[in-house]
Amino acid sequence: MKPITKKRTKALLLDLTISSFVTLGVEHFLRKKVKNEAVHVFLTPTVVMWALEFAQLRKGGQTIGYKKMGLVLENETGSALTPVQILKRIGYRDTCSTIDYLKNRKAFESEDGAILPHDRFAKTVVKEQ
């Protein structure tokens, strides 16, 4: 595993930890209004994680985990990230990217870990600061 990929993994784990704590707080209030357990198991954690990541990436191209690891997400062309790019990246990462990894592990990361399949799909690149 390349050094930047290790940093990306640590950043994602940190972001997941933060998201989990926020989800606990959101669920506390939602449990009184929504009785369906499937919502609390599947929907709430996903919506919270995506919302937190979208807001942070839209604001500055970094999540808390990326800041801590010294990484920044940028558009391939160098322009600002668009909302569509961010959503495409998040959606692809949480669905198709796992299949890409299982199909061909050796070709999963390119450019020393700066571009993973979800980055290629959304036309983004992760760089060290």
pLDDT tens, the chain, 129 aa long: 788 989 999 999 999 999 999 999 998 888 888 888 888 888 899 999 999 999 999 998 899 999 999 999 999 988 889 999 999 999 999 999 888 888 888 778 777 888 889 999 999 999 998
Tell me the residue type at 16.
Answer: L
Place of tokens 């983004």: 124
End-to-end CA distance of the chain: 20
- Global pTM reads 0.87
- Map out the domains of the chain as residue ranges: 3-128
Report the interhelical angle of 44-60 vs 83-94 (nearest 10°): 140
Predicted pLDDT of residue 102: 87
* Nearest by Cα to 50 from 41, 58, 38: 58
